[in-house]
Amino acid sequence: MIKRERLTMKTKWIWLGTLGLMVTLTLTAIADRPYVVMQDGRRVEGSAIRARRNGDVILTTERGDLEFARNQYREAVAARPQLLDQAQRALQAGQYDRVVSELERIVTEYRFLRWDLEALALIGRAQLGKEDPDAALATYNRLFQLNEAWRDNPAVRWDYYRAMLGAGQLDQLERRLDAIVRDDERSEAARAQVMRGDIKRERGRPEDALMDYLRTAVLFEAQGAARAEALYKAGTILEELRDARARNMFRKVVNDHGDSPYARRAQERL
């Protein structure tokens, strides 16, 4: 009797696990179906989608092909390309040339279907990884021309600012950072304060940059990521100035922000 009951329970768990897997696969398939969002917010789903060069899209549905002019829809989305995931993994591995090549294919093949925009954002990041800020800046401007709303994407925003910094657009960048420090919430203001220091350093004013980094560490103590970066960069300047306090800065990064990527860099300098 006990053995039979155990078998029944085992069968039940196998059945539930299989059902859960089926539900997951079904939800994934639904989430990955192409769709068009109309100007009034209605969503029309299909099994395939393609775009014309002028932005009109054709959505294949159970009722046949439906065509939407560019001014009729708010967004058109294809199923997420596997090539995008492969490119993201290559980006994490530092294979920047491969990333740019693969992502440019997505930009071409998924024009007007969302993933061209995702691909452009990743191309810009890869170009930053290659230390080519001018190319990255051109890529981000290309992205914003296609969709201005991407300026407000947090990750893209700060990558774009890094590109501006590297490309020497310091005056424009400084005005943007001043506005963020004045008006934005504290985590954004902390990042802007650190980058203010980067601008001063780029202009050959290390002592002024040091003050911005130290100011960040004191005024934004709760913003751990920005504080770790500020302490590390303060340490590098003090090291350049042959100031013994540099080691104290690096120790603070390691002790207070051990999970930060700057902790490993700081440890190497101790």
At 131 the pLDDT is 95
Instruction: Report the CATH architecture of 80-163.
Output: Alpha Horseshoe (1.25)
Convert the chain into a string of H (helix), E (strand) and C (coil).
Answer: CHHHHHHHHHHHHHHHHHHHHHHHHHHHHHHCCCEEEECCCCEEECCEEEECCCCCEEEEECCEEEEECCCCEEEEECCCCHHHHHHHHHHHCCCHHHHHHHHHHHHHHCCCCCHHHHHHHHHHHHHHHCCCHHHHHHHHHHHHHHCHHHHHCHHHHHHHHHHHHHCCCHHHHHHHHHHHHHHCCHHHHHHHHHHHHHHHHHCCCHHHHHHHHHHHHHHCCCCHHHHHHHHHHHHHHHHHCCCCCHHHHHHHHHHHCCCCHHHHHHHHHC
The second-level CATH assignment, the architecture, of 32-79 is Roll (2.30)
What's the mean pLDDT in 89-113? 93
Please give the pLDDT value at position 66.
97
pLDDT band at residue 32 under the 50/70/90 scheme: confident
- Would you say the CATH fold of 80-163 matches that of 32-79? no
Q: Taking residues 28-35, what's their average pLDDT?
A: 66
> What per-residue confidence (pLDDT) applies to 21?
35
Give the model's pLDDT for residue 28: 37
pLDDT average, residue stretch 44-57: 96
Tens digit of pLDDT for each residue in 234-248?
999 999 999 999 999
Mean pLDDT of 125-147: 96
The pLDDT of 187-209, averaged and rounded, is 97
| Residue located via tokens 């100007």 | 39
Say if residue 122's pLDDT is above 90: yes
Is 7's pLDDT higher than 70? no
Query: What is the average pLDDT across 192-202?
Result: 97
pLDDT value of position 29? 38
Q: Tell me the mean pLDDT in the region 130-135.
A: 96
pLDDT > 90: what percent of the chain? 85
Starting at the edge strand that comes first in sequence, how are the strands of the sheet with 48-51 ordered?
48-51, 57-61, 64-68
pLDDT, mean over the chain: 89
pLDDT at 10: 43
Domain boundaries, the chain: 32-79, 80-163, 169-270
At 57 the pLDDT is 97
Written out in words, the top-level CATH class of the domain with range 169-270 is mainly alpha
The percent of residues in the chain predicted with pLDDT above 70, rounded, is 89
pLDDT of residue 96: 92
**How far is it, in rounded angstroms, from Cα 95 to Cα 129?**
9
Q: Model-level pTM?
A: 0.82
Question: What is the predicted pLDDT for the residue at 6?
Answer: 44
Closest CA to 156 of 189, 121, 191, 104: 121
Q: Distance between CA atoms of 133 and 40, rounded to whole angstroms?
A: 39
* 225 has a pLDDT exceeding 80: yes
pLDDT-derived band of residue 41, with 50, 70 and 90 as boundaries? very high
End-to-end CA distance of the chain: 67
- Region of 48 on the Ramachandran plot (φ > 0 left; ψ -120 to 50 alpha; else beta): beta
9 has a pLDDT exceeding 50:
no
How would you classify the pairing of strands 73-77 and 64-68? unpaired
pLDDT of residue 184: 87
